[in-house]
Structure 1
Amino acid sequence: MLTAILLGFLFAVFLVFAGKFFKGKFSVLASLIPLGLFIYFCRFIPEVGSGEVIRQTYQWVPSFGVNLSFTLDGLSLLFSLMITGIGFLVFAYTSSYLKGHEYLDRFYGYLAAFMGAMLGLVLSDNMISLFTFWELTSISSFFLIGFNNTSEASRKSALTALGITGIGGLFLLLAGLVLGNISGTYSISEMLNMKEAIAGHEYYVIAVIFIFIAAFTKSAQFPFHFWLPGAMKAPTPVSTYLHSATMVKAGIYLLMRMTPVLGGEEIWNTTLIIVGAVTMVYSAVHTLFRTDLKGILAYSTISALGILVFLIGMGTRDTFLAAAVFIIVHALYKATLFLVTGIIDHETGTRDVTALAGLRKVLMPVAVAGFFAAISSAGIPPSIGFLGKELTYEGTLHPEVFNILLVVSIVVTKILLLWAGFVAGISPFKGKLPERFQKIHMPPLVMWLPPLLLATLGMAFGIFPALIQDNIIKPVVTALGQNPEEIHLALWHGFNMVFILSLVTIVVGTIMYFVIKPSEKLVGFISRFNPASPKTILEKLNSGFIIFSAYWTKIFQNGYLRNYVSTIIVFLVVLVGYTMIGNTKLDLDYSSLTKLSIYEIVATVILIVGVFYTVFTGSRLAAVAAMGVIGLAICLIFVFYSAPDLAMTQFSIDTLTVILFVLVLYKLPRYLTLSDYKMRIKDGIISCAFGLIVGILALEVLSEPVHNEIGDFYARNAYIMAHGKNVVNVILVDFRGADTMIEISVLAISAIGVFGLLKLRLKSSDRVK
């Protein structure tokens, strides 16, 4: 499985060197990567369908309990098949949709990296590795959403999406750390055996809240939903892949994966039901006030995600079954409608549904795909959408969770989604063909075949639900901790309340379709409420934060190194001093200290003289020389106390520092203009306070009893475990390797920044004179 995950990333790296090959007529070959992965995962369908769970583990950071652990069960298999199967069709579609684009190879690289990140996400069995892939999906989606980087709207949408989903990623990491603290493991499969202990822990609510924030931001739940309509600025293949079948479903996957661990409690179920219900109704209503096809599809996608959260919150076997089926339903019809919209936009140059009509006469196969998708979206037999709608109503009417308000909410949502599906899938093709569209021709096969294939699957799975019942749906229900034995998928469930609600949905939704037409008047009406929308509120908060940041920068980040150092030192003095008040107990045994030698006294006097000379001299070069003297005095003290390695390090650093200072300062004026006495007094007070704190800390350390356990451990194991004879080096490189790695990373980032500044070549017009 690790190879399957890395293949997407490796292909993205390969395109850096061989991208030109995939820009021309061979670009369709890029689709062989997801096709091969789809075939690979299809091999596991019989095994997973029989109840087997496939696990693989690779050591990553075992000392921290972080491993690359992967699990392939019903839930992860369903998502893996969607990621690779729809990914194959999107890759093929892209070869024609973006044919001749200057950066087609780059687009494939982003798409492949995103596919690999999504596979890693749904297969991960470790919370930390799951977080890693989660963030990789956010980063790769940022590049995909902002692919048209010459457009300011695209760049802003990409930043908004990255900001919202990035915040969710941070809370996912926190959730993983909290759960790891509770359970003692980061393995999700091991957490399943500790459900009761986790639920009874005092940090349970915190972990649940963090998981909710991560899932809600990724899956565009209210009030975090607004990033998804904005992301429609991306090319259609991105909208199809990310916003119908993969990225937005990551939050749904997280909730489903964590339900056996965290579910069953009131806070879990109630919150999901409320958030899901609000999201699905709110977004479904918004579809009425859009004329852009992608805008309609965006809000209907948010509504569908709300339905899935709502069903997961219900927490019964019937609602889990409905959610599993609806994931497939939504992926098939929504991907189809997005691809159809892309074809319409590509051929006509517009997505305005009020200007589109009669396209069936020139785009018949596309019209058939749109019609089938609309039928599935509406839940009309014999599509699988009808089966999904029936299961949804059946789960909502379950005696354990029945609530009339919830039933009304889901029925209203389904009616509005029927309207939206008809508008997106049927309206552009019915009626008389406008004269300006009469010269439109059919797109290439690789453009119209993918949506037609997806729409046909939606009908086939409805007519023959047994195709997915045992090998796909039942394993998903099993992965959610439910017994799937009595599950039997069929179009006809008898004449009952569920069938009556389905009939009402179809009739009312169809009437609405013929009565309510998308119009600019409706768009204008809803725009009146923009000042109260979550997006506007967040933008105002962001503007306020920018203003606050400007004042903060003006006060603390004003460009003066003196102020930076003073602020840091004052903060440390206050923090450490407050901690030490009442806790300082100096019990120093002076008899245990060695007597001062004349050499130590002389070196200390030289050091003190050097300090005073540095502070009060009026020459920069003299101050630098005095600092060198201070460094040499410290070297002598290290030598006196048998630390020659520290002495050599200090000597090297001080020598280099003096040389660098001289090189920098020798061209400056010879004498300084000393600061006013008030500032010098302030700096003196800060320095003395800091020195006093450091001195007290040093005496505190000396007064503590000596424990050699840690030193003995390193001395015994330095050579045995790390094969190094220098204990200090072994500690830095091996035992504290993570610290050293971070320090090296910081230095590398700094070096890259300096290199970028050195290589900067500004145009004469850009230079500040």
Structure 2
Amino acid sequence: MSAAAPGTTFIVLMLPFLAALVAPWLTRRLGHNAAWLLALAPLAIFIHFLGFSAEIANGEIVTGGFKWVPSYNVSFSWLIDGLSMTFALLISGIGALIMLYSGGYLKGNDQLGRFFSFMLLFMGAMLGVVISDSFLMLFVYWELTSITSFLLIGFDHTREASRRAALQALVVTGGGGLALLAGLLVIWNITGVSQISLLLVLGDDLRDSPFYLAALILVLGGAFSKSAQFPLHFWLPNAMEAPTPVSAYLHSATMVKAGVYLLMRLNPVLGDTVWWETILPVFGGTTLIVGSLLAIRQTDLKIMLAYTTVASLGLMVMLTGFGSEHAIAAAVLYLLAHSLFKGALFMVAGLIDHGTGTRDVTRLGGLRKAMPITFVAAMVAAVSMGGLPPMFGFLAKEEVYAALWAADAWSLFFVAVAVVGNGLMFVAGFVVAIKPFFGPEVKTPKHAHEGPILLWLGPLTLGAVGLIGAIASPYAHRLFTSPMTSAVVGEPEMVTISLIPHIGVPLALSLVTIVFGIVVYRLFDRARDMVARVLAAIGWGPDRGFDQFIFGLVRLSSSITRVLQPGRLDIYMTMTFIMIAIAFLGPMAWYGEWPSMPVWPKDAQFHELVVIAIAFIGILAVINARDRLTAIVSLGIQGFAVALIFMLFGAPDLSFTQFMVETLAVVILALVMTRLKLTAVDHRPTREKVSDMSVALACGTGFALYLLAVTQQPFNSYLSDFFSAYSKVVAHGANVVNVIIVDFRGTDTLGEIAVVMVTGLAILSLIRIRTPRVVVADNDPDRREEAG
């Protein structure tokens, strides 16, 4: 393990956020051409992390960072190994191409600068997720991806569908983020470490803990929501309301793979258990089948690709949880292949939409001559998605079948799931690559034309990388796939699969997949109609369930609000005083810790008895007052009695303060009462009087008993001694009380002053309120004016 230069890596992590600050200004100056300059930021990040490839390939792990909150052992630290480096390269490399693509796709959009800024923020958040070593840093970046994706999905905020999709994504992924936070706290409590690099060697401690299952479920809640696993898959296709550059980036290299990254990262410590190897394959396999079936039902190219992403994520989760080194290698290979071909296909869908004005596959055809570059990019990506040589997707599919194949029923079941899922994704990929380009020419909303270089540069580049990676697979394995697999497994592993076909079961399963895909493709319309009929028969689905959940939540909140916040001040005050009484009397009754009753002192002085008598007379005056104003004035007698006690016991400053506060309180309350329309006497029914009296007696008794309990405790002079010793030395003040208020409790005092100021302003506003009077105009008896 080695340390990276903290300054350089920290600057690289902050670079997307810095670029996001200047993006709007730069776009105003250069228009869509600002994309060329803004793409330099992710390109620089790509070059930085590529510089670690040789070191990582040799088995090194690079760490770095600095203390963030030392008292809680919280750091801003990063961990760079095969897993995080490969993810960082995907995020930055594809991010650079997406920035260029965005400039061409949104050319002329007056909000392009804002869009660039959001994309860069999103890039920085996702980069932080995969690089983070600290639990807290991981969670902060994790939630930041939810917030920035909310901004991107709802970019066209004037459309209701965009707003709904953004809110849905935020609720689902944000809720999953809270589950993840709870899971990380449980893991922290079990292991005592708050850094992933330290956690990776404590797998046995975590798996042997009685709280392992709780930690696992909470972590899976965060991962499954982010990576759209069934039944939380519905938010991802709805996120297609975002502009196509967002969809391409979201599905290829960023947010949807955050959950897969988390599962891969924690596999060494949470994996290798029955729970892990059951939950992940079951949910992943279900997601694979559901996503691929829903994909062939669609006619919109983007939504079709979105559902294939759901299916692909399910396949990656299924492989990650399968429990073998070959399955992990297959998941790694498929993740890389998916990032390349899915980013390219989404950009192709955007190119078709940009060039024709529609993404509906039933309204497209014969575009091969009008859009030749787009056609080439689509075919290259579809070949990889279909798992055909000579693309990187072929390596991934062969490794998938090699990892899953075994003679037991459990393995055979998931082999069948993989064959069906891959076959249906084969169909969807070639529907995007063939149907819009072949057949008779179809009249489209716009005259079909090829896009500019900013649009087709990305898909062609990703296709070329997929081809070169497969041809030069030994180098790709040494630098990327083997280190990444080793990081996920937790020990050194070598990936060796190449383009040379190996006669065996995996190749046979590949042929079965291809034949199955070709058959379904030829019957595509019938298959789509069949899936549509089945879904119509089922009716209810998670997407509709989300709306029902939100509607029910709003209804429940409204009902609770009507009960707890009815808009009546008397109810608020009554409930407040009831809770105060419970807070005082409840613990003493529950634990039986009632204070001893005070004994009347035999040597009580005459002046002390006079003060008590004054307080008692004040109580009688309040009770017997005939109107509210008299009662308010009589209340001041109690405060004056307390001020006299302070004075008699040697605290003249407190006594003076009490006199001032009590006088001001009486004056202010009297002024307020004069502005309110109150009856001279209390007309409440007897039932309300008894109820209010009971609450008042309970509060008064609670306060009295609490004060007795406090005064009967042994006096601890620690604070008194501290202030006496340090008031003069530290704060240079001889008046200990003043020093406490101004220096030691300076911030508290400032807060109290602010509260008094706000209260005074509110009271002043209330006093100055004037009741409008109605004036009838002399010349028009029907016309009325309000005069203040």
1:248 corresponds in structure 2 to 256
Evaluate the alpha carbon distance shift between residue 731 and residue 310 of structure 1 in structure 2; reply closer, same or farther with a 3 A threshold: farther
**Aligned residue in 2 for 1:358:** 366
Task: Identify which of 112, 123, 144 aligns with 1:115.
Answer: 123
CA distance in 1, matches of 2:278, 2:744: 50
Instruction: Assess, with a 3 A threshold, how the Cα gap between structure 1 residues 146 and 660 changes in structure 2: closer, same or farther.
Output: farther
Cα-to-partner distance string for 1:184-238 (whole Å, 9 max, x where unaligned): 2211222223222222222211111110111111111111111111111111111
5 Å matches for 1:305-454?
305-397=313-405, 403-436=411-444, 439-454=447-462
Deviation at 1:178, TM superposition (A): 1.2
| 1:255-266 pair list within 5 angstroms | 255-266=263-274
Inter-CA distance 481–520: structure 2 relative to 1 (3 Å threshold): closer
The residue aligned with 2:245 is 237
Q: How much does 1:570 deviate?
A: 3.2
- Alpha-carbon separation, structure 2, partners of 1:16 and 1:658: 57
- Structure 2 residue 689 is matched with structure 1 residue 685: no
CA distance in 2, matches of 1:306, 1:594: 83
Alignment partner, residue 767 of structure 1: none
Listed one character per residue, the Cα deviations across residues 453-492 of structure 1 (whole Å, up to 9, x for unaligned) are: 1122112211221232111111112212444454313122
Amino acid at match of 2:697: C
Deviates more, 1:535-544 or 1:351-360: 535-544
Within 2, Cα distance between the matches of 1:259 and 1:113? 28
Question: Is 1:134 matched up with 2:142?
Answer: yes
Q: Is the 8 A contact 2:46 2:93 kept in 1?
A: yes
**What residue in structure 1 maps to residue 55 of structure 2?**
47
CA contact (8 A) 2:357 2:444 kept: no
**Alignment match of 1:560 (pick from 541, 560, 568):** 568
In 1, distance between residues paired with 2:200 and 2:727? 39
Alpha-carbon distance in 1 for matches of 2:575, 2:160 = 38
Counterpart code for 1:536 = R
Deviates more, 1:324-333 or 1:525-534: 525-534
CA distance in 1, matches of 2:17, 2:732: 35
Structure 2 Cα separation of the partners of residues 198 and 719 of structure 1: 53
Instruction: Answer whether contact 2:125 2:142 (CA < 8 A) is retained.
Output: yes
Deviation of 1:3 after TM superposition, in Å, equals 2.0
The 1-side partners of 2:471 and 2:731 are apart by: 64
Unaligned 5+ segments in structure 1 are: 755-769
2:111 is aligned to 103
Q: Any conservation in 2 of the 1:353–1:428 contact (CA below 8 Å)?
A: yes
Is 1:76 the equivalent of 2:109? no
Residue 282 (structure 1) aligned with residue 290 (structure 2):
yes
Alignment counterpart, residue 697 of structure 1, candidates 706, 715, 734: 706
State the shift of 1:12 in Å.
2.6
Q: Give unmatched runs, 5+ long, in structure 2.
A: 1-8, 763-788
Q: How does 1:450-489 map to 2 (within 5 A)?
A: 450-489=458-497
Between the aligned partners of 1:215 and 1:649, the Cα distance in structure 2 is 58
Q: Secondary structure at the match of 1:480?
A: helix
Q: How many Å apart are 1:569 and its aligned residue?
A: 4.0
**Which stretch shifts more, 472-481 or 79-88?**
472-481
Other-structure match for 2:766: none
Number of aligned pairs? 744
Contact 1:220 1:302 in 2 (8 A): yes
Q: Distance in 2 between matches of 1:644 and 1:365?
A: 91
Could you tell me the TM-score, scaled by structure 1's length?
A: 0.87
SS in 1 for 2:67: strand
User: Contact 1:219/1:305 (CA < 8 Å) preserved in 2?
Assistant: yes
Q: Does residue 64 of the first structure (1) align with residue 72 of the second (2)?
A: yes
Between the aligned partners of 2:179 and 2:373, the Cα distance in structure 1 is 45
Task: Name whichever of 606-615 and 361-370 sits farther off.
Answer: 606-615
CA deviation vs aligned residue, 1:519-554 (integer Å, no higher than 9, x gap):
984575255146331222333233333322222222
Task: Provide the C-alpha distance between the structure 2 equivalents of 1:626 and 1:19, rounded to a whole number of angstroms.
Answer: 70
Identity %: 37
- 8 Å Cα contact 2:365-2:436 kept in structure 1: yes
Asked whether 1:515 is paired with 2:526, we answer no
TM-score (norm 2): 0.85
Which residue pairs with 1:761 in the alignment?
A: none
1:548 to 2:556 alignment? yes
Change (3 A) 1:136 1:612: farther
Q: Would the aligned equivalents of 1:340 and 1:370 in 2 still touch at CA under 8 Å?
A: yes
What are the Cα deviations for residues 70-102 of structure 1, in whole angstroms up to 9, with x where unaligned? 111111111111111111111111111111212
Give the distance between the partners of 1:315 and 1:723, measured in 2 at CA.
68
Looking at structure 2, the residues matched to 34 and 623 of structure 1 have their Cα atoms a distance apart, in angstroms, of 72
Aligned: 1:205 with 2:180: no
C-alpha change, 1:210 and 1:515, in structure 2 (3 Å) is same
8 Å contact from structure 1 (residues 369, 456) kept in 2 = no
Do the aligned partners of residues 616 and 474 (structure 1) sit closer, same or farther apart at CA in structure 2, a change above 3 Å counting?
A: farther
2: CA distance, partners of 1:544 / 1:703: 52
Which structure has the greater CA radius of gyration?
A: 2
CA spacing shift, 1:71–1:597, aligned 2, 3 Å: farther
The answer to whether the 8 A contact 2:17-2:124 is kept is yes
* Counterpart position of 1:185: 193
Given the alignment, which residue of 243, 250, 272 partners 2:280?
Answer: 272
Q: Secondary structure, in 3 states, of the residue corresponding to 2:64?
A: strand
Q: Pick from 20, 27, 30 the counterpart of residue 12 of structure 1.
A: 20
Encode CA deviations 1:678-718: one digit per residue, 9 max, x unaligned.
33332222232233334333334444445567888999999
Moved more, 523-532 or 48-57: 523-532
Provide the rounded CA distance (Å) in 2 between the counterparts of 1:642 and 1:305: 75
Q: 1:304 to 1:669 in 2, by over 3 A?
A: same
CA contact 2:485–2:493 (8 Å) conserved in 1? no
Q: What is the CA–CA distance in structure 1 between the aligned matches of 2:730 and 2:264, rounded to whole Å?
A: 42
Does 2:102 align with 1:94?
Answer: yes
Q: Deviations over 1:566-604 (max 9, x none)?
A: 334434545665544341234659699998777776666
SS in 1 for 2:65: strand
CA deviations on 1:263-301 (whole Å, 9 max, x unpaired) are 111112211111111111111111121111111111110
Query: How far apart are the structure 2 equivalents of 1:669 and 1:569?
Result: 24
Other structure's SS at 2:436 match? helix
Q: Which residue of the partner structure matches residue 532 of structure 1?
A: 540
CA-based RMSD of the aligned residues comes to 3.8
Structure 2 counterpart of 1:160, from 148, 155, 168: 168
Can you list the C-alpha shifts for 1:604-630, whole angstroms capped at 9, x where unaligned?
Answer: 666677678778868777677667776
- Matches of 1:169 and 1:588 in 2, distance apart? 51
Q: What is the alpha-carbon distance in structure 2 between the residues aligned to residue 360 and residue 731 of structure 1? A: 78
SS of the residue 1:55 aligns to: strand
Secondary structure at 1:252 match in 2: helix
**Structure 2 letter corresponding to 1:110:** F
Structure-1 separation of matches of 2:265 and 2:326: 17
How far 1:116 sits from its partner (Å)?
1.1
Following TM superposition, by how much is the alpha carbon of 1:441 offset from its aligned partner in structure 2, in angstroms? 2.1
SS in 2 for 1:70: strand
1:388-428 Cα offsets, whole Å, 9 max, x none, are 00111111115799522111111111111111111122221
Contact 2:357/2:445 (8 A) holds in 1: no
User: Which stretch has the larger CA shift, 664-673 or 212-221?
Assistant: 664-673
Which position in structure 2 is the counterpart of 1:170? 178
Equivalent residue, structure 2, for 1:764: none
The Cα offsets for residues 288-325 of structure 1, whole Å up to 9 and x where unpaired, read as: 21111111111110111111110111121111111111
Match of 2:775 in 1: none
